[in-house]
Amino acid sequence: GENVEQHPSTLSVQEGDSAVIKCTYSDSASNYFPWYKQELGKGPQLIIDIRSNVGEKKDQRIAVTLNKTAKHFSLHITETQPEDSAVYFCAAGASDYKLSFGAGTTVTVRA
C-alpha cells in the first residue's frame, strides 16, 4: 500500500516568516495530493490540493509543489500569522478516494 512520510514533525516560525513542510510517497499510482489543517478539537480541513498533472498550485499565502518523478510534494506558507498555528497533514490518494496520511506537522507561529 501507499506509504507517506512527512517532515518535520514540529515547526516553529516567527510571525511573518515562511513555513515549509515536505512529504514523500511510495505508490506511483497516487495522483492526488491534498493538504489538511487540523485545529484543536476539530476535524481536518482541506486547505489546498494538487493533482499529478500539475507541478505547482497557489492560493493566496499557501502553495503546493509536486515532483512526481521524485515522488515528493511540499506545502509552503508565506507571511505566517498566529492563526496558521495548527497540525498540518499531507496525504496521497488515487481514484478510489482512499487517502494515506502523513504523520502530521505541528506548526507554531510565534508572535
Binding site for other proteins (CB under 8 A): 1, 31-32, 34, 36, 41-46, 49, 51, 89, 93-95, 97-104
| Pairwise CA distance, residues 31 & 64, whole Å | 14
Nearer to other proteins, 13 or 32 (CB): 32
Output the smallest distance, CB 53 to other proteins, in A: 11
Nearer to other proteins, 1 or 14 (CB): 1
Output the smallest distance, CB 31 to other proteins, in A: 8
Nearer to other proteins, 78 or 101 (CB): 101
Strand order in the sheet with 62-67: 4-7, 19-25, 72-77, 62-67, 56-59
DSSP structural state of residue 9 = S
| Pairwise CA distance, residues 47 & 107, whole Å | 15
| Pairwise CA distance, residues 71 & 87, whole Å | 22
Output the smallest distance, CB 85 to other proteins, in A: 16
